[in-house]
Amino acid sequence: MSETTAAQYDWDLFVIGAGSGGVRAARTAAATGARVAVAEDRYLGGTCVNVGCVPKKLYSYAAHFHDAFEDAGGFGWQLAEAPRFDWATLRDNKVGEIKRLNGIYGRLLEGAGVRLINGRARVIDAHTVEVAGERHSASKILVAVGGWPFVPEFPGSELALTSNEVFDLAHFPERFLVLGGGYIAVEFASIFNGLGSDTHLIYRGELFLRGFDQQVREFTRDQMAAKGVNLHFETNVERIERVEAGLAVTLTSGEVLEVDAVLAATGRRPHLEGLGLDALGIELTESGHLRVNERFESSLPSILALGDVTGGPELTPVALAEAMHLVAHHFSETPTAPLDYRNIATAVFCHPNIGTVGLSEEQARAQCGAIRVYATEFRPMKHTLSGSQERCLMKLIVDDASDVVVGAHMVGEEAGEVIQGIAIAVRAGLTKADFDATVGIHPTGAEEFVTLRTPTRR
Ligand code: FAD
């Protein structure tokens, strides 16, 4: 940073939002010697730590015990009495763990020399932010405010919970209804079903998880239904009413379901309300996200943005990678290549889990021309004794001309863990011949990924 800039502004970088992207950008920029402040009005660590990935995964672990107790019998384990789930223990232990993580985030910022300011920030002009009644000038302002749940309006929609509240319910909902067909809806349906709720998922489309591989979607539907989730497709919620025993949810099919809680997992919108950017005429995309270039600059170049507010893949590792790139672009002398958004692996923590990287079969058919599909569905070895009917799907998509593996998909236990490794091979552009030349690890389910020899279809 030049002497002039240092003298001209209070800060080299003022970050709004101490979530996944904001904290990483603040710390990394401070490590280059920049003077950095970050404003946060709610919780350190943002959505992921407080009401997203972390509590969700902890609750998913809790829900998996349901299957584990059932599976144990076939391996000779006798439980003295039927296991009983205590919601308050899970919820309160989760609260303790998140407090610990909040503390770690605070210490990381402090250790990096970043000043943390508690309060809701508002952008006044291209170089000024107001927070907690104080104005700060900055050479660059980073908008890392994330997203906020969106609930469509219908009669009684105010009775629905969002993912912001669902982790902290006072009482466990014995009867649970999820509205939505995205990955968050599917995950919560599996979680509450596993914890013991009588669970319904309502989705207006013909099948959930739009954008994922069709075979993966259909396989997941069948596995979730087999585990007891009541799936209602091409159906919507017409209204919700409070009744004596809970909530009465009237569906467009005419059916009325009585439940204890309704979760609207109906999408997220950029969290721009009250931020003041509209007054500055900053450009938005058609979906209302902040439009940024490869250097994460908005249409007002001193105002930068990253993470969910920019509408890219809404994932924590993406926000983190963007933060590293942003800092390299703006606070280092070395030129940096733009972030490569291809082949970003993701998991859906429904039960069984989904792990996926690269192209779906449908995308590959459209983009590659001739392809080979290698798919296998099987009963994992564990379930030969457990008695569980859970099955596993593994699938590779290969570009026929180059032999490059362009997509890998799995539905099964720990699919995210398996696909994280496969993602390196797919990103590196390895061929099916490379997969074939890899000696498997036996006995694992994952070895199927290197022993698929005959194309299932072309
Ligand atoms: P956020 O982490 O949302 O941080 C934004 C921060 O800005 C918040 O702390 C907010 O309080 C603060 N803020 C907003 N406005 C202001 C203001 N005006 N002044 C001061 N502070 C402000 N991603 C995964 O990779 N894996 C998962 O398994 C996963 N599961 C998820 C489950 C759920 C239920 C949800 C909702 C999300 C999940 N995500 C997951 C997505 C992930 O949480 C987000 O992609 C990630 O948090 C985005 O980071 P961010 O920095 O853009 O924003």
CA 268 to ligand 1: nearest atom: 36
Is residue 200 helix, strand or coil?
strand
Whether pLDDT at 6 is above 70: no
Whether pLDDT at 330 is above 70: yes
User: Which residue owns the Cα nearest ligand 1 atom 37?
Assistant: 52
Q: Indicate the average pLDDT of the chain.
A: 96
What is the percentage of the chain residues whose pLDDT exceeds 90?
97
Distance of CA 212 from the midpoint of ligand 1 (Å)? 22
Q: Which CATH superfamily is domain 157-266 in?
A: FAD/NAD(P)-binding domain (3.50.50.60)
Query: Which of 164, 153, 102, 134 has its CA nearest to residue 37?
Result: 134
Helix, strand, coil % over all residues of the chain, rounded to 5: 35, 25, 40
User: Which residue owns the Cα nearest ligand 1 atom 33?
Assistant: 52
- Average pLDDT (299-310) is 98
Alpha-carbon dihedral of residues 450, 349, 269, 301, nearest 10 degrees?
-40
pLDDT computed for residue 4 by the predictor: 47
Which of 130, 263, 316, 325, when mutated, tests ligand 1's pocket best, judged by the most ligand atoms within 8 Å of its CB?
A: 316
> What residues have CB less than 8 Å from 177, skipping those under 6 apart?
199, 200, 201, 202, 247, 249, 257, 259, 261, 262, 263
The CA distance from 216 to 361, in Å, is: 10
pLDDT computed for residue 429 by the predictor: 98
Order of strands, sheet of 392-399, starting from the edge strand that comes earlier in the sequence: 346-348, 354-358, 405-411, 392-399, 371-378
Which CATH architecture is the domain 3-147+269-331 placed in? 3-Layer(bba) Sandwich (3.50)
The CA distance from 280 to 160, in Å, is: 34
Alpha-carbon dihedral of residues 78, 80, 85, 88, nearest 10 degrees?
-140
Distance of CA 47 from the midpoint of ligand 1 (Å)? 3
Residue 382: C-alpha distances to residues 85, 226, 449 (Å): 24, 18, 18
Distance of CA 395 from the midpoint of ligand 1 (Å)? 31
Query: Which of 208, 217, 262, 225 has its CA nearest to residue 240?
Result: 262
Ligand 1 binding pocket (C-beta < 6 A) is 16-22, 39-43, 46-48, 52-53, 56, 120-121, 144-146, 163, 184, 271, 275, 307-309, 314-317, 319
CATH 3.50.50.60 range(s) for the chain read 3-147+269-331, 157-266
Whether pLDDT at 2 is above 50: no
Summarised one tens digit per residue, pLDDT across range 55-108 is 999 999 999 999 999 999 999 999 999 999 999 999 999 999 999 999 999 999
Summarised one tens digit per residue, pLDDT across range 142-163 is 999 999 999 999 999 999 999 9
CA 149 to ligand 1: nearest atom: 36
Residue 241: C-alpha distances to residues 22, 177, 407 (Å): 40, 13, 45
The torsion angles phi and psi of 221, rounded to 5 degrees, stand at -55, -50
Domain 346-450: which CATH class? alpha beta
Distance of CA 286 from the midpoint of ligand 1 (Å)? 21
Whether pLDDT at 267 is above 70: yes
Q: Tokens 């972390």 appear where?
A: 54
Least confident residue range of 140-154, 209-223, 331-345, 418-432? 331-345
CA 20 to ligand 1: nearest atom: 51
Distance of CA 157 from the midpoint of ligand 1 (Å)? 23
CATH 3.30.390.30 range(s) for the chain read 346-450
Summarised one tens digit per residue, pLDDT across range 436-446 is 999 999 999 99
Task: Copy the structure tokens of residue 258.
Answer: 């009585």
Whether pLDDT at 18 is above 60: yes
* Angle at CA of residue 52, ends 50 and 57, nearest 5°: 105
Distance of CA 268 from the midpoint of ligand 1 (Å)? 10
Summarised one tens digit per residue, pLDDT across range 162-185 is 999 999 999 999 999 999 999 999
The residue type found at 443 is: P
* Angle at CA of residue 440, ends 436 and 446, nearest 5°: 100
pLDDT computed for residue 1 by the predictor: 47
CA 347 to ligand 1: nearest atom: 28
Which of 120, 145, 184, when mutated, tests ligand 1's pocket best, judged by the most ligand atoms within 8 Å of its CB?
A: 145
* Residue 127 annotated to the active site: no
